[in-house]
Structure 1
Amino acid sequence: MRFELTEDQRSLRADVREFAENEIKPTAKGLDGQGEYPGEILDELGARRLTGLTLPEEYGGRGEGLVELALVVEELSAALMSVASTLGLHLGVATVIERFGSDEQRETFLPEMATFETVGALGLSEANAGSNKLEMETTAERRGDEWVLDGHKQWVTNFLDADYVLTYAKTGSDEDAPHDISAFLVPTEEFEVETVWETLGANSVKSPRVSLSDVRVPADRLVGAEGNGYVQRGRIRTGVNVPARGVGIARAALEDTVSYTKSREQYGQHIGDFQGVRWEVGRMAERVDTARLLTLRAADRADRGRDVTREFSMAKINATQAAVDNANDAIQLHGGVGYTTEHHVERYLRDAKLLTIAGGPNEGHKNTLADAVFEQHGD
């Protein structure tokens, strides 16, 4: 068994790494510190059609798979995690349209989504429907040729610069769960912004709370079959971008730490020459490799149409915790300056913590993983 990328995959990774290192990372501290939207960066990703990476070529995408998505997201996240999250969530919305939408929806939305001229955001979580999305309170009622939506969404990443929100709402009774939730494409101007959250990290792309009150959308903005929105969502695997973001942060923390400890001198030698420091750095490298292998395994199995319930949860738990642990160790090994904004490592820790919550908290994935393991070995 050879754990090697194809030549095309290596070329893609190299191109994105060069862009991330030259165009994103030099601006990352400023964007994060000022809470400034990385619009020019995202526009360039659109021009390169990376915002349509996994969409079919017939709709202007690049026709790549989830392995390629994981590679691209790792590189972007190593420079600025909020850029990677915006791309990943946008592609998730586009993928739902591509997989379950009508021909008219595909033709209308996907070409411009591939180039980021039309931007998608996800409206799923609510104040009382965090881990358990089946408890959402947003409703959609059919009235003639329209659907009327009422409710709210607690965290809509990139809402302020998006054009449409893929909005999940109840269209049936609780007794029909999970076949009681449908998905709709709702223009962002139909929402009211209630709160723009001030968050620990990911400061350059905001995730506000928004609400809908008697919002009417045409019947043809229902995506997929009525009542099957949440079930259909479980069939897409672009969520592999979350552990891939963790890999990127973990790797960036490792690389910054190696660079710093090789140049910083104390007691007449570089601190990277102390055995204790070297062991810690080795452990950081082990976390990166483990996280990447688990993430790419999940992506590869998904590309081949295999069930990845076990593999995805394992990757998500491991990679996101690796990001937190490596960022924490990076701050410690940088010493006092690691606690300042002069270096990137403090931002890595702030951004990494989000990943243990986003995409389903790690505790929920631990339950999913345990269930899958017991089922696999039950006999």
Structure 2
Amino acid sequence: MSVASRLTRTEGAVRTVGPTLAPPFLDLLRDSDAQAAVTGRPDPAALSGLRASGLLATAVPQVYGGAGGDAVAVNRVVEQVATVNPSVAIILFQHFAVCARIDEWGTDEQKARFLPALASGECLAASSWSEPGAGAAKKRLASTAEWLPDGRWRLNGAKSFTTGAGVADLYLVLVRTSAQDDDAGSRYGAAGQSFFLVRGDNSGLIPDLSLDLIGMRGSATGFVRLNDCEVTDDDRLAPLGEAAAVIAGVRESGATLGAVSAGIAQAAYDLAVGHRALLDLSLAPVGRRQMVALSTLLESVHAFVARAGRRSSDDPGRTTLQAKLHASATAEQICLEVSRMLGSAGYVVGHRLNRLIADARAVALMGPTNDLCRDLVAASWES
């Protein structure tokens, strides 16, 4: 039996994430991750592979050509992809999020118009909620939608940290449609805000990939400028001024960014297994104890993310938030422990572990940020 096999069997029953995805696709994602770390740009080949993989259909109901997957399936697929390419996993997660919002809040016409294309890979979706000065809770939006006499809406403003900017075909954009009421009872979003579905080929939507990130370098995370971007009222998602209700429902779904962290944690653990196997240190008591500790942490991440997806707790929304908190913090911890374990072997430019460390940090900063997650969890105890 190989050293790596002994580690996997004796140092904790850590589940294997893959491969349920096609090996050539996994290889493509793995190569793309290394390439994007250098270029800081999304890889067209990886995105084409994603569109052709069938994965984009996961969260779309079967009646619209999708796989009809629930939150367990969504989290599992995101985790698998994140094990080899966290940047693409983030793009995929945001696509799933938009699919779910359309399925939950869209009109029959909107579902028929968008969901089949989102399932087939023809259309890749992105969320564009954040903007400078709005705060993590999106309470102070400056971007606006103005109602025009001809029955259209004109959107203006600047959005930031949009994952999939410039590569998405459809953007779920959050803007202000009337005076905002920060004290309207919502802790995330505000009354007077609305969502619009904006096509990527709209001349008034201008992506900007000048943002140079430390982690998630292949995620096409950048700015989106709305410059007299005109849409119809049929492109508005959910009731006017009630974006906060849409946002509140997101965490109830069970789909969690913690799945990305779970994939990152698994990848870091696998690096540790490979390192121990290479040095033949699996029988050393200290090394065995280190691997037991890592595998226990990793199993806790998998378990928390799985529980969020099952929505089996008394408060599924709170569990979804806690899953992101635990998974992201623990993934960072695992990455740092593996860094210490590898020593100088990992202290090399281009070593994959350094990419994983940066990617793990990024998840904690993604919306809802970990600080906002803590506030939302604490608020749930008050009700």
The TM-score, its normalising length taken from structure 2, stands at 0.86
Q: CA deviation at 1:194?
A: 5.1
8 Å Cα contact 1:17/1:76 also seen in 2: no
Structure 1 distance, partners of 2:88, 2:206, is: 24
Once the two structures are superposed, residues 117-168 of structure 1 have per-residue CA deviations (whole angstroms, 9 ceiling, x without a partner) of 1121111011111312121111112113101111110111111111221111
User: Secondary structure in 2 aligned to 1:133?
Assistant: coil
In the alignment, is residue 324 of structure 1 matched against residue 328 of structure 2? no
Once the two structures are superposed, residues 153-197 of structure 1 have per-residue CA deviations (whole angstroms, 9 ceiling, x without a partner) of 011111111122111111122238433111111233422345621
Q: Which residue of 1 aligns with 2:118?
A: 113
Gaps of 5+ in 1: 1-9, 265-269
User: Secondary structure in 1 aligned to 2:161?
Assistant: coil
Structure 1 distance, partners of 2:148, 2:297, is: 53
In the alignment, is residue 98 of structure 1 matched against residue 103 of structure 2? yes
8 Å Cα contact 2:57/2:67 also seen in 1: yes
Structure 2 distance, partners of 1:241, 1:19, is: 27
Q: Which residue of 1 aligns with 2:276?
A: 261
Structure 1 distance, partners of 2:41, 2:206, is: 22
Q: Which residue of 2 aligns with 1:62?
A: 67
8 Å Cα contact 2:137/2:368 also seen in 1: no
8 Å Cα contact 2:17/2:80 also seen in 1: no
Q: What is the RMSD of the two structures over their aligned residues, measured on CA atoms?
A: 2.4
Q: Which residue of 1 aligns with 2:171?
A: 165
8 Å Cα contact 1:38/1:83 also seen in 2: no
C-alpha change, 1:224 and 1:34, in structure 2 (3 Å) is same
C-alpha change, 1:36 and 1:125, in structure 2 (3 Å) is closer
Of 261, 266, 288, which residue of structure 2 is paired with 1:251? 266
Letter in 2 for 1:279: R
8 Å Cα contact 1:191/1:212 also seen in 2: yes
In the alignment, is residue 310 of structure 1 matched against residue 315 of structure 2? no
Structure 2 distance, partners of 1:90, 1:203, is: 18
Structure 2 distance, partners of 1:130, 1:234, is: 16
Q: CA deviation at 1:374?
A: 6.3
User: Secondary structure in 1 aligned to 2:21?
Assistant: helix
User: Secondary structure in 2 aligned to 1:173?
Assistant: strand
Count of residues paired in the alignment: 359
In the alignment, is residue 204 of structure 1 matched against residue 218 of structure 2? yes
Q: CA deviation at 1:231?
A: 1.3
Q: CA deviation at 1:13?
A: 5.8
Letter in 2 for 1:172: S
Letter in 2 for 1:159: A
Structure 1 distance, partners of 2:18, 2:381, is: 33
Q: Choose between structure 1 and 2: higher helix proportion.
A: 1
Structure 2 distance, partners of 1:12, 1:78, is: 8
8 Å Cα contact 1:180/1:228 also seen in 2: yes
Identity %: 25
C-alpha change, 1:359 and 1:22, in structure 2 (3 Å) is same
C-alpha change, 1:317 and 1:12, in structure 2 (3 Å) is closer
Alignment of 1:144-159 (within 5 A): 144=149, 145-159=151-165
Structure 1 distance, partners of 2:311, 2:317, is: 10
Structure 2 distance, partners of 1:44, 1:194, is: 23
8 Å Cα contact 1:120/1:163 also seen in 2: yes
User: Secondary structure in 1 aligned to 2:324?
Assistant: helix
Q: CA deviation at 1:20?
A: 5.8
Q: CA deviation at 1:322?
A: 1.3
C-alpha change, 1:235 and 1:207, in structure 2 (3 Å) is same
Of 165, 176, 181, which residue of structure 2 is paired with 1:175? 181
8 Å Cα contact 1:70/1:241 also seen in 2: yes
Structure 1 distance, partners of 2:254, 2:110, is: 22
C-alpha change, 1:276 and 1:46, in structure 2 (3 Å) is same
Structure 1 distance, partners of 2:22, 2:288, is: 26
Q: Which residue of 2 aligns with 1:224?
A: 238
- Which moves more between the two structures, 276-285 or 132-141? 276-285
Once the two structures are superposed, residues 292-331 of structure 1 have per-residue CA deviations (whole angstroms, 9 ceiling, x without a partner) of 11111111017x9x74232112211110011111111222
8 Å Cα contact 1:13/1:72 also seen in 2: no
C-alpha change, 1:247 and 1:11, in structure 2 (3 Å) is closer
Structure 1 distance, partners of 2:75, 2:318, is: 17
Once the two structures are superposed, residues 198-230 of structure 1 have per-residue CA deviations (whole angstroms, 9 ceiling, x without a partner) of 010111122112221322211211111111123
- Which moves more between the two structures, 290-299 or 45-54? 45-54
- Which moves more between the two structures, 241-250 or 334-343? 334-343
Of 345, 357, 361, which residue of structure 2 is paired with 1:349? 357
Q: CA deviation at 1:103?
A: 1.7
C-alpha change, 1:338 and 1:11, in structure 2 (3 Å) is closer
Q: Which residue of 1 aligns with 2:300?
A: 290
The TM-score, its normalising length taken from structure 1, stands at 0.87
Structure 2 distance, partners of 1:29, 1:335, is: 21
Structure 2 distance, partners of 1:209, 1:288, is: 34
In the alignment, is residue 280 of structure 1 matched against residue 295 of structure 2? no
